[in-house]
Structure 1
Amino acid sequence: MPYVYLESPDDFASIYYTTNTKYGNVGGFAPEKPTIIILHPLFLDSSWLHHQFGDTRLDDGFNMIAFDMRTCGQSTCRPSGLHDSWVDAADLARCIQMLRLPPAHILALEGVSTNCAERLAVLFPEMVLSLTLCNVPAPTELKWVFTAYDELMQSWCCAEDLESFEHVGMESVTFVVGPNVQECDVDLQDELIAYWEVTLPPAQRLRLVETLNVLMNRTPLKAETYASIKVPVLLIHGERNETCPKKYAELLQAQLTGVPGGVILYTVKGASGCLSIVPGSASIANQVFAKFLSRLPHTRSDLVTSEESVEERMQRALQELAVIVDKPKLAQRKAHSSLSFSCLSDDVIMSQSDSLSFYKKGLDSVFSPVGPDGRPTRRFSDRIKSHWFYGEKDGLSYAGSGSTNLVNTTESRTTEKSLPMPSSEPISAETAALRKSTFTPSSVDKLVIKGSMAKVVSGTSSMPFQRLLL
């Protein structure tokens, strides 16, 4: 079975992986070809990497393997407030050792994956031949993105009907494909929302909460830690990506002073979203990645047998991590658990645990966006369009006098230039901790309108008019 089981007294994770071999296993790797490890984008899993696995420029010349992170896709784990990007890196390192994978080229797509890849290169340099990071995020989350993710998480977890879930799904599409949602292929929108309805419904909200906690509570690496990365690095960045502005890729380029020959930064013109999902951007990114690898020394993929046991190597990495983050007590932890690599403060661990405990309540009675057969009940694009409150391609609704006006309005808006997303600076670590410490059940309940509208309106006479429109 394509799973790696990571078991310890305080943790359990089943990590799913897929390869480009005939039977989907590592034993089918061609020894004469180099190996690529792919880390999937946020909100998605390895099943969304068909643009990479189906590209002959990569598939013909390389062994390819992709892992679902512990809270994504077909991987499963025990929920934990200790989870951070160091834990993700430890998971990946353990999988590499247990599968006896050779040193590989790492292709990390978007925020959580790039943070994991950087930390893997720091703690386990012998496993990494090169790093390719797509859409590098800011060291800490931008303020407006932080707020948007916070609200998205609460709305997603507490959706009580199909329209509510589809609405938050459409908001999430914006983070995947960029702000010009009206230019996104309708089939892609339908596939994304259907995927979330099946894999991340409210009943699976703990996986979403834990994943976003890892992203939103991240802490930047120190300058000397970045300088310790000494493998070739390629940064691929979307020109119009507003959630991950290009200046932070340029900042990382300057910080990676130990890279031989310097870091290569390539800008994909016109790209505003995930570089692995939209076909045009994915093809360009694959071409740049393939050319980058063609300039590096050719390596074989013979399965590795190390004299050092997995636990011994992980213990050595844990001791190095204790020095990097200046926390000597880390070295005293048991390395047989990936959670031992967590570098979160006690306050953040407690707040993440509290949020997981809160969202765990009532899981047996939450709304399900799928039918009895486990499939979506409709395509997002097939929702009723004759109602005056119909949401258009941009996710907003416009009142009109009839279906003809709605069509005309939609056509006219597609020709307009979309409004730019707000610009802001990264948040501080104190801000992230404050968000978690002030988390209360009321902060979720206030976003959900329960009962008939007449009852709600009669009982909320002091509520501002704008709130009733939400």
Structure 2
Amino acid sequence: MPFVDLHSSDDFASIFYTSNSFSGNVGGFDPAKPTVCILHPTFLDSSWLYPQFNDPRLDSEFNLIAFDMRVAGKSECRSSGRHDSWVEAADLALCALSLRLAPFHILAMEGNAINCALRFAALFPEMCLSLALCNVPAPMELKWIYTAYDELIQTWCFAEDLESYEHVAMESVTLTFGSDISPELRDDLIAYWETTMHPRKRCRIVEQASVTMHRSPLPAEAYNYITQPVLVIHGDANEACPRKYAERMAQELKSIIYSVKGGGGYLSIPQGTASIVNQVYVKFVSRLPRARSDPLDPSISIEERMQEALAKLEQFTGNTALRMRDPVSSLSFCCLPDEIIHQQAEQLKLYRKGQSLAFLPLTPTGRPIRRYSERPRDDWFESKTEGMSYAGGRFFSEPTATPRNDRPLPLPKPEPLIVEDGRLRRGGFIPADKYVVNRSMAKVVASSQPKLHQLFL
């Protein structure tokens, strides 16, 4: 499998990538075709880009390449509190320079991918031909999403049984995709998370979520360096990404905006919206000058080019210490405040405790125990498509026969159970105290019972 190893004095990451070439790597690219780099959605990986890789409109006209971000998919890295979207943009640049990729178009799917693409285009404008941004997020995470993420991630990482894990996974599907999702896609998503993002990999989950929750707005000066053609695609039914942020981004970058009617979260995956996104994107790129994909012959070394990017980042942020950092380390591009870095590092230490002994929702062969739709449905509450839970199920066996003159009483209609704030309860970190009984059970029970004469007082 193709990987790009990025190593330095304080960091190591092995970045997995895939392509639509016959050999599966960049060596099989057609130099006469332009290259499109597709950045996968948050909490997924490049394997979920099959609607783009399998679309003839893209596959036949472009060289397609996709990288798994450092804490997603098959990529591996050292856990670090110094991880933000600037680091991911540096990862993308180092991979492109190592593979000698010609300047390419970028198709970014959802939050973290968009933040990475914008920062890459600002720091390395000569390597980026155009930008297409699907579902532009808010500059900083909305409060209700931050709260929901905080509680979902903790419940996810500390689930102790299959039912708890499936419940929080279903809540995550509803938060990211909405309630209008096909059962097949829902089952595939939960099975993917069970396989790649189970509680024994909770450090990767937390680190990926921290990039989303602790992001900061792009500096105003950086917008001046994003001069490439930009297309903004927005789903008008996406509650997590209000349209006003897409309009603001389109105004800042002087780009056009296309609305997908009825489109919710993760436009690139459901069959209907994915086809619309692909069609709009192909029309957008076809109007641009056609570029070739001949292997790049750089005039300067990778270290020198990354040093120039650090100097530009210093200009954006005003942090004079950036120029003194190691240019070949992606972590050198981190722009988080020191208190956030310390907080993320301490959080990773906390989540790492007991990680190897956490619940594993897989069989000994590494496959999910069951599909979500195959779970037993004898629960007292059952989640419906609109996000509500209804009382249902039968807990008592029915009589084999009903007397002729007796009619069964009609059961009351189930009413929705409304959960306050619509959030899950926060998962606990410290187990409850356990008490050891040194006396016989008979004496313990006798001492706990009230005296007989007290019952008549």
TM-score tier (shorter): 0.7 to 0.9
Report the CA distance between 1:165 and its aligned residue: 0.6
Q: Shift of residue 272 of structure 1?
A: 1.3
Change (3 A) 1:185 1:450: farther
2:123–2:309 CA contact under 8 A, matched in 1: yes
Bigger shift: residues 393-402 or 109-118: 393-402
CA 449–66 in structure 1, closer or farther in 2 if over 3 Å, else same: farther
Aligned match of 1:301:
293
SS in 2 for 1:445: coil
Cα distance between partner residues in 2 of 1:373 and 1:42: 27
Counterpart of 2:220 in structure 1 is 223
Verify the 8 A CA contact 1:237 1:267 in the aligned structure 2: yes
**1:399 to partner: Cα distance:** 1.8
SS in 2 for 1:126: helix
- In the alignment, which residue of structure 1 is the partner of 2:85? 85
Taking structure 1 as the reference length, the TM-score comes to: 0.84
Q: Secondary structure at the match of 1:106?
A: strand
Partner of 1:313: 305
SS of equivalent to 2:211 = helix
Q: 1:445 aligns with which of 406, 417, 428?
A: 428
**Aligned position for 1:291:** 283
**SS state of the match for residue 257, structure 2?**
strand
Aligned CA RMSD, in angstroms, stands at 2.4
Shift of 1:447: 10
Measured against aligned partners, the alpha-carbon deviations of 1:440-469 in whole angstroms (never above 9, x if no partner) come to xx9741799999xxxxxxxxxxxxxxxxxx
**Could you say which residue in structure 2 is the equivalent of 1:74?**
74
Q: What is the alpha-carbon distance in structure 2 between the residues aligned to residue 400 and residue 345 of structure 1?
A: 50
Question: In the alignment, what sits opposite 2:123?
Answer: 123
Shift of 1:144: 0.3
Residue of structure 2 equivalent to 1:209? 206
Q: What are the superposed Cα offsets for residues 413-441 of structure 1, whole Å, 9 maximum, x if unpaired? A: 9xx9x99x99xxxxxxxxxxxxxxxxxxx
> Are 2:364 and 1:367 aligned?
no
Unaligned runs of 5+ in 2: 396-410, 435-457
Q: Which residue of 2 aligns with 1:140?
A: 140
* 1:152-191 alignment, distance < 5 Å: 152-178=152-178, 180=179, 183-191=180-188
Q: 2:263, 2:163 → 1: CA distance?
A: 29
Query: Which secondary structure does the structure 2 equivalent of 1:307 belong to?
Result: coil
Q: Does 1:28 align with 2:28?
A: yes
Q: Tell me if structure 2 keeps the 8 A contact 1:170–1:395.
A: no
- Identity among equivalent pairs (%): 55
Shift of 1:137: 0.3
Q: Distance in 1 between matches of 2:324 and 2:272?
A: 49
SS of match in other structure, 1:131:
strand
Q: Distance in 2 between matches of 1:89 and 1:140?
A: 18
Q: Where do 5+ consecutive residues of structure 1 fail to align?
A: 257-261, 404-408, 423-441, 452-470
**Amino acid corresponding to residue 338 of structure 1 in structure 2:** S
2:390 counterpart (375, 391, 398)? 398
1:454 aligns with none
Q: Is the Cα–Cα contact under 8 Å of residues 155 and 447 in structure 1 kept in the other structure?
A: no
Q: State the 1:394 CA deviation.
A: 4.9
**Alignment check: 8 A CA contact 1:167 1:395 kept:** no
Whether the 8 Å CA contact 2:377–2:393 is kept in 1: the answer is no
Contact in 1 for aligned 2:195/2:366 (Cα 8 Å): yes
Q: Deviations over 1:88-112 (max 9, x none)?
A: 0000000000000010000000000
Q: 1:401 to 1:75 in 2, by over 3 A?
A: closer
In the alignment, is the contact (CA less than 8 A) between 2:379 and 2:392 conserved in 1?
A: no
Closer, same or farther: CA 236–351 of 1 in aligned 2, 3 Å: same
Matched-pair contact (CA < 8 Å) for 1:34–1:300: yes
C-alpha distance in 2 between matches for 1:385 and 1:401: 8
Instruction: Output the amino acid matched with 1:208.
Output: I
1:209 partner SS: helix
Partner of 1:104: 104
Deviation at 1:4, TM superposition (A): 0.2
Whether contact under 8 Å (2:100, 2:297) holds in the other structure is yes
How many angstroms apart in 2 are the aligned matches of 1:269 and 1:391? 26
Q: How many residue pairs end up in the alignment?
A: 414
CA distance in structure 2 between the partners assigned to 1:356 and 1:245 by the alignment: 31
What is the deviation of 1:49? Answer: 0.4
* 1:234 aligns to 2:228 (yes or no): no
Q: What TM-score do the two structures reach when normalised by structure 2?
A: 0.87
SS of 2:391 mapped into structure 1: coil
Q: Which protein shows a greater Rg?
A: 2
Q: What CA deviation, in whole Å up to 9, does each residue of 1:124-168 have, x standing for no partner?
A: 001100000000000000110011111111111111110111111
Alignment check: 8 A CA contact 2:125 2:225 kept: no
Name the residue aligned to 1:197.
194
Measure, in 2, the Cα distance between the counterparts of 1:379 and 1:443. 26
Partner of 1:253: 250
